[in-house]
Structure 1
Amino acid sequence: MPIGAPERAEARIVQAERLPALAEVVALDIPIGLMDGPDDGPRPADKAARRFLSERNIDRIAGVGSRVFPSPTRAHLAILAAGGTYGDLLGHFRKGQHISKQCFMICPRIIEIDALCRADPDAPLWESHPEIGFAHRAGRTLPSKHRPEGLRARQDLLSEAGFDLARLAAALPDGRRHWAPDDLLDACMLALTGTRMARGTHAGLPNLTDRDSHGLRRVIHF
C-alpha cells in the first residue's frame, strides 16, 4: 500500500520472487535471519517476541507464547531442501531439537525467502509478526484470532486505521485454499508495520541490530 494510506491498500497474492519489487519496505511473517543449528539455542527474536506477548497479556489469555513458534535452523532447512520429510527431521535431531508441524508446513516459504535475502542482502524484505503488531497497537495482547472476540478486535483496529476490509476481501480469489479471513487481517497489520519501518518509527525484537552468520537481519520488526 502507499505509505500512510491504508484506504488505498490493494490485496493480491503474489509469488515470493516478486516480493522485492512490491514496495519500499515489505514486512513478512516469515523468519529471516536464522540460527545455524539446534545447538546454537533458540533464536533471540523468537524468545523476545514471546516475552513481549506475555508481558502485555493483561487479560491472562492462555497460551499466548505459542503464537510465536520456534524457527527452524539452517540445519533443518538443509535436510528439507535436499528432499527430506518431517520424519527425516525427527530421525536426524534429538528430542528438544525438533520443529513443530506448523513450522514444517511453511519451511518451503522460509527456504524461498532465505534464498532471496542471501542473494540480495539489500532486498527490502523485513521480518515482522502480526501478533506483535496487534499487541503493540492495542496496548495489550489480544484474544486469539480464532475466537470471535479476537477476530472482531483485530477488525476494529484495522478499520480504525483506515483499511476497507470488505473491499480488500472482495479483491482476492474465492476459496479457502488460497487464503483465510485471518490471513487478510495479518497482511493488513504487516502493511502498517511496513509504514512504520518506512518512516523510521519502528522497533525490533530483540533489538534492531542482531544478525545471523550470513549477515541477515535476525529481528522481528514492529
Structure 2
Amino acid sequence: MNSQYRDIVMSVEQFRVLSRSHIEEMFFSHTKNKKNNANAVLKKLVDRGYLQQVKEFTPYVYVIKGSKIKNSSQKINQFLHIADIYLQLKKHGKIKDFKVEPRYFNVDVRPDLFVHWKGSYWFIECQNTSFSNEQMRHKIKRYEKLYLSNQYKQLPFQQGEAVMPFVWIIGQGIPYDIHSQLLKVFQSEDVGSFIRQQKMNNQPIKINHQGIIKWSL
C-alpha cells in the first residue's frame, strides 16, 4: 500500500466515516479531476478489502472493512458532520492536532472534536440535531467540572503552561440558553459565521482569566 492509500485508510479510521466528497477535499483538491481520482483510489481500497462502501448515502460513504457501524445508523450522519466541520476549520487555518470523539482517562467529557487551531485548544460539540437547553447545560456543567477539578492540566495535548480548551458549539439549535462564569463558550452555525462574528466584534479572546491571546482571523 502506498503512502496516499495508507493516509486515506487512516483518515477513514480516525473519522469513523468519510464521504467521497470529504476524501476528494482532503487528498485530491489539488488535482484537475478530483472526483474521478478519488473514485479510482477508493475502488482499489474497496476491492483490496481495506474499506467498504455504504451505498445508502449520496455520495457514497466509506468505513473501515468490518466496521460495526450500521448502514442506517444516525451515527453516520454525526460523523459526516464532524468531518464537515473539520474541513471548514482547515479552510480557515492550519490544524496542528485533532482527535475525533477523544476519550481521556478518568475524565467525564467527550467532545465530538478536539482541535489545536489558531494557536488555541478547542473542545467542539458538533450539533447535527438540536438539543434542549437543559441537555446542553448538562454538557457545559461537565466541562465546568473538568475545569474545577484541574484534570484538564493533565490531558495529553498540554504543552508548557496548561490551559483549559475553549468550548465551541457548532450547528443545529444555536443559540442555546447557556451561561458559564468559568469557561469561554462560543456558539455558531458553522465555522465561517464564527469567523465573521469575531471580525465584526474585533475583540481578543480570553483564556480562563489567565491572560489574552491574539490570533489572526
* TM-score above 0.5, yes or no: no
Bigger share in strand: 2
Q: Give the helix-richer structure, 1 or 2.
A: 1
Q: Which has the higher contact order (CA 8 A, sep 6+)?
A: 1
TM-score for both structures, normalised by structure 2: 0.29
TM-score normalised by structure 1 residue count: 0.28
